[in-house]
Amino acid sequence: MELKAFKRRARRFAAAACALLLPAAVLFTAPQMAAADPVKPVVTADAKTYDENTGCYHLQGNVTVTSGDRVARMDDAQVSATNLEIWGQGNVSLQKGDELVFTADAVYLEGFAPSATLFGRVKLERPGLVIRAESVTCDWKSGTATFHGHVICIENGKEKVAGTLVYDMESGAVQQYS
């Protein structure tokens, strides 16, 4: 019984310390990484609550995750404070640079991994190209986005249907269908 009470007090202390030490607009940043590692993400939201039982924050309203030239936006998110896993939902958009914008129903971001996965009514739209699918995994290291499940690609007015499609985010070209 004493160990449970100690753990509960430790979680409360950690949550209170986080709330006091972090500015209101910036909720989380990943720990300092080596120069070769990716840019550490910054997470902001209108409101936050902490669940001491799960060790997760619940973020509400204008949730934004910024990591280098990538910005993810959503209405609502749950964030694991220990490993910076982020599950977001509601009006999800993921933008890379100035032109590349994905939209979806939900997103999974792992702050320390060079990837993002979007789920549910995924869409990528660029001039002359529309890709729709059930999910997409964006691999920032390889520069590819792999669409899965009932993929529909309309490129220059020609429609193709596939189970999987690989898109090169740098060149803007469809690499392969399967």
146, β-bridge pairs: 137, 166
The yes-or-no verdict on residue 98 having pLDDT over 90 is no
Residue 39 banded pLDDT, cuts 50, 70, 90: low
C-alpha to C-alpha distance for 127 and 30, rounded to whole angstroms: 35
Using CA atoms, how far residue 128 sits from 50, 137, 150, 155, in Å, is: 44, 22, 20, 6
The average confidence (pLDDT) of the chain is 81
Task: Go through 58-92 and write b for each residue having 16 or more CB atoms within 10 A of its CB, e for each that does not.
Answer: ebeeebbbbbeebbbbbbbbebbbeebbbbbbeeb
Give residue 108's pLDDT: 96
pLDDT score of 77: 96
Round the CA-based radius of gyration of the chain to a whole number and report it.
19
Q: How confident is the model at residue 34 (pLDDT cuts 50, 70, 90)?
A: very low
User: Residue range 67-71: average pLDDT?
Assistant: 89
Cβ–Cβ < 8 Å for 145, 163? no
What pLDDT score does 99 carry?
80
3-state helix, strand, coil in the chain (%, to 5): 10, 60, 30
What pLDDT, on the 0 to 100 scale, is given for residue 38?
A: 53
